[in-house]
Amino acid sequence: MTLTSKTHSTEDIGSAIELCYSNGWTDGLPVVPPTAERINQMLEAIDLAPAHQVAFIENRQISVTVEKIAINAVMAGCKPEYMPVIIAAVGALADPKYGYHGPATSTGGAAVFMLINGPIAKQLHINSGDNLFGPGWRANATIGRAIRLIMRNIIGTIPGELDRSCLGHGGKYSFCIAENEESSPWPAFHTTRGFAADENAVTIFAAYAPHQYSNRLSATAEGVLTTACAHMRISAGTARQPQYAMVFGGEHQDIMKKSGWTRKNVQDYVFEHTQNTILDLQKIYMLSDSYLNSDGSSQYALVEKPDDLLVIAAGGFAGVQSAFIPGWGGKNGSQSVTYPIKNIK
């Protein structure tokens, strides 16, 4: 295929890697030099022309094309078969509900959390089990990394410039998992967004770091969620987040299944039991005194409605660990979006 991007010549691979460093094209780790041969292998994995616009980032007035995505996918270390997932995720980034500019530029330091559902997760060996948010799986590491490099190299989301994150977190390197649909006590997450179970989809979510909690003392759903709610009541930078993801590890999945709790049961219970009084939040400086017209005893919910709790089954089966992930922004912040994974050859 004919490529239109600017080319550079170097003496060897080492020099090519150093060229990427000197031009600010890396996330701090070495990248794979994007040769024409490697780029074309990426392009051959999908049924889209190199010049096809996948996304237009309104606030930046930036067009993200297939060729530019392919270049960064090579640099991230992706296999060509990962391209349909990356294409779908990039399309989701430009969705107005996600609102790219806010989470990408905020001092809050949100990352792009990606959840993969459907048969493609197994086909690509995307980890949904042990060491879920940790290293060890090429697909998880490089698909998530490709999104970050695209944000940096195409859209210009560079730390200290457009990206004004105060602290950030490790998910800004890569934050990509699959749902463990086989062990889940609930229908696959993407079916809550209108997809069939056998369809492939990616959900993106502007997310802070995972907050892990442990409960080994209760064998009931209510007991596990009591622990989760205690941790969640005061867990992020503002008193109300737009959404939370709740990721249940294997043993807690089994407890939910044995207890017969549906996803809606979980959402309703957590919504009710994570509320604080306005006065309590004001005492710890998480809510301004603009709420002084209240008597202070009114309840203030963690999210606007139960459906804003994204209930996901993933993680290893050894240990009683689960996690929740706060979303970025106040109650009107970024919303998670789910896009179909298409263009699969």
C-alpha distances in angstroms, 339 versus 74, 184, 187, 204?
A: 22, 21, 18, 8
**Strand order from edge to edge, sheet including 201-207:** 176-178, 111-117, 201-207, 337-340
Q: How far is Cα 246 from Cα 267, in angstroms, rounded to an integer?
A: 9
Confidence of residue 294 (pLDDT cuts 50, 70, 90): low
pLDDT at 107 over 70: yes
pTM recorded for the entire structure: 0.95
Nearest to residue 341, comparing CAs of 140, 196, 232?
196
pLDDT attached to residue 309: 97
DSSP state, 80? Answer: G
Alpha-carbon 79 to chain mean position: 20
Q: Number of C-alpha atoms within 13 angstroms, CB side, residue 201?
A: 21
pLDDT attached to residue 281: 85
Per the prediction, the chain carries an average pLDDT of: 94
Confidence of residue 279 (pLDDT cuts 50, 70, 90): confident
pLDDT attached to residue 72: 98
pLDDT at 300 over 90: no
- Please give the share of the chain, as a percent, with pLDDT higher than 70: 97
Mean pLDDT across the stretch 189-193?
98
Q: Which residues contact 292 (CB under 8 A, 6 or more apart)?
A: none
Confidence of residue 89 (pLDDT cuts 50, 70, 90): very high
Q: Which residues contact 310 (CB under 8 A, 6 or more apart)?
A: 189, 203, 205, 243, 244, 245, 246, 336
Of 144-148, 279-283, 338-342, the range with the lowest mean pLDDT is 279-283
pLDDT at 292 over 90: no
Mean pLDDT across the stretch 106-113?
94
C-alpha distances in angstroms, 336 versus 83, 118, 170?
A: 21, 18, 20
User: Which tens digit of pLDDT belongs to each residue from 146-177?
Assistant: 999 999 999 999 999 999 999 999 999 999 99
pLDDT at 332 over 80: no
pLDDT attached to residue 259: 97
b/e map 295-320, b = 16+ CB within 10 Å: eeeeebbbbeebebbbbbbbbbeeeb
pLDDT attached to residue 299: 85
DSSP-H helix ranges across 77-219:
83-93, 101-105, 120-123, 138-153
pLDDT attached to residue 291: 65
pLDDT attached to residue 241: 82
CB 312 within 8 A of CB 205: no
User: Which tens digit of pLDDT belongs to each residue from 209-267?
Assistant: 999 999 999 999 999 999 999 999 887 556 678 999 999 999 999 999 999 999 999 99
Domain layout of the chain by residue ranges: 7-208+334-345, 210-326
**Which uninterrupted H or E stretch holds 36?**
helix 36-43
